[in-house]
Amino acid sequence: MLVNQFLFLAAILFCIGVYGVVARKNAVLVLMSIELILNAVNLNLVAFSLRNGSVDGQTFALYVIAVAAAEVGVGLSLVLLIYRNRRSISLDDLSEMKG
Amino acid sequence: MLVAQNIGFTIIALMMIVGALRVVTTSNVVHAALWLVVVLAGVAAQYLLLAAEFVAVTQVLVYIGAVMVLFLFGTMLTRSRIGRQGDLNNSYWKLGIPVALIVFAAMALALANSFGTEKMPSDAAVVNTQQVSDQIFGPYLLPFWALSFVLLAAVIGAIVLARKD
């Protein structure tokens, strides 16, 4: 197994996630794309853990998983609040910050 | 052994890429969530290939178990109708394709230059849970505490944000 095959897979997943964040309008789908990005990072961390023969990468990956779970919880409750106030979770409608 | 690993890697990787592309292109939110399950399960399988058992099990428990249920609840609570719907992309979605391709080109160049054809160590032992916990409760204890507070704050924040009052 090459080191690069895992790193390239993670890079592809990361770029698909970036495309999803840019292209999607539905807030739940944007959160899913962010999950893709976080998983790509985790794959990198675990791959480097094997390459370097050290457990640190796996520890970091576990921490990232925990932070991602917290992020999804808060993110979805924000989406729920936006939906309750505006009857829509389209990110195009949230344009108050535009000057 | 190595050949079997490479075949396994290729099959799982192709499945994950197809799943990820469907997540960002499908026009049904529930289907996107289910394709995301394919990707997350593939990531767990790759962790097994990388000899990281505990991380793989955690991935299945936390992502496929908990995060996915959260996503499905989020879909259910914010959509009056579940099913096919037209405009999930915003008006400038085409801009995302060159952005993703440029980011990928930059990363591919950097990875090819840095690692080339370097191989994974073939004699690596499977990391057992004891080693991982020795790391978490040893040198990385402080971030573990910080993470506990992050989770506590997230739980309280989610309840405060989402409750009706």
Query: Do the Cβ atoms of B102 and B110 come closer than 8 Å?
Result: no
**pLDDT tens-digit readout, B45-73:** 999 999 899 999 999 999 999 999 999 98
Q: Which chain B residue shows the shortest CA-CA distance from A92? A: B90
pLDDT at residue number B125? 79
Q: Evaluate the CA torsion angle B13, B19, B50, A56 in order and state its sign.
A: positive
Q: Is the pLDDT of residue B34 over 60?
A: yes
Output the six-digit token pair for A20.
């999803």
**Between residues 63 and 92 of chain A, which touch chain B (CB distance below 8 Å)?**
63, 65-74, 76-81, 83, 89, 91-92
Q: Is the pLDDT of residue B80 over 60?
A: no
**pLDDT tens-digit readout, B93-106:** 889 999 999 999 99
Which CATH number fits the domain that encloses residue B14? 1.20.120.1200
Q: What is the domain range of residue A77?
A: 25-87
For residue B36, which residues of chain A lie inside 8 Å, CB to CB?
Answer: 32, 35-36
B76 and B137 inside one domain? no
Angle at A35 between CA A20 and CA B107, to 5 degrees: 65
pLDDT at residue number A37? 95
How many Å lie between the alpha carbon of A78 and the closest alpha carbon of chain B? 7
Instruction: Report residue A48's pLDDT band, with 50, 70 and 90 as the boundaries.
Output: very high
In this structure, which long-range contacts are made by residues B91-95, counting pairs with CB atoms below 8 Å and at least 24 apart in sequence?
A: B91/A92, B93/A22, B93/A23, B93/A24, B94/A23, B95/A22, B95/A23
Look at A92 and B91 and tell me if their CB atoms are within 8 Å. Answer: yes
Look at B117 and A2 and tell me if their CB atoms are within 8 Å. Answer: yes
Instruction: Report residue B116's pLDDT band, with 50, 70 and 90 as the boundaries.
Output: confident
Nearest to B87 among A25, A49, A59 (CB): A25
Residues in Cβ contact with B110 at an 8 Å cutoff, skipping those fewer than 6 apart: none
| Final residue belonging to a domain, choices B50, B82, B114 | B82
Q: Per the domain annotation, does A3 fall within a domain?
A: no
Q: Per the domain annotation, does B99 fall within a domain?
A: no
Number of compact structural domains in chain A = 1
Q: Is B33 on the interface with A (CB under 8 A)?
A: yes
Task: Tell me the C-alpha distance between B51 and B48, whole Å.
Answer: 5
Please list, residue by residue across A33-54, b when 16 or more beta carbons sit within 10 angstroms of its beta carbon and e when fewer do.
bbbbbbbbbbbbbbbbbbbeee
Q: Is the pLDDT of residue A91 over 90?
A: no
Q: Per the domain annotation, does A8 fall within a domain?
A: no
Q: Is B106 on the interface with A (CB under 8 A)?
A: no
Q: Per the domain annotation, does A96 fall within a domain?
A: no
Task: Tell me the C-alpha distance between A43 and A8, whole Å.
Answer: 10
Q: What is the domain range of residue B135?
A: 128-165
So what's the ipTM on this one?
A: 0.91
Which of B120, B128, B159 best tests the A interface by mutation, with the highest count of A CBs <10 A? B120
Q: Per the domain annotation, does A5 fall within a domain?
A: no
* Cα B19 to Cα A17, A35, A43, B10, distances in angstroms: 12, 13, 16, 14
Q: Is the pLDDT of residue A77 over 80?
A: yes
Q: Evaluate the CA torsion angle B109, B105, B14, A53 in order and state its sign.
A: positive
Task: Tell me the C-alpha distance between B127 and B75, whole Å.
Answer: 37
Q: Which chain B residue shows the shortest CA-CA distance from A72? A: B67
Nearest to B58 among A19, A21, A62 (CB): A62
pLDDT at residue number B94? 87
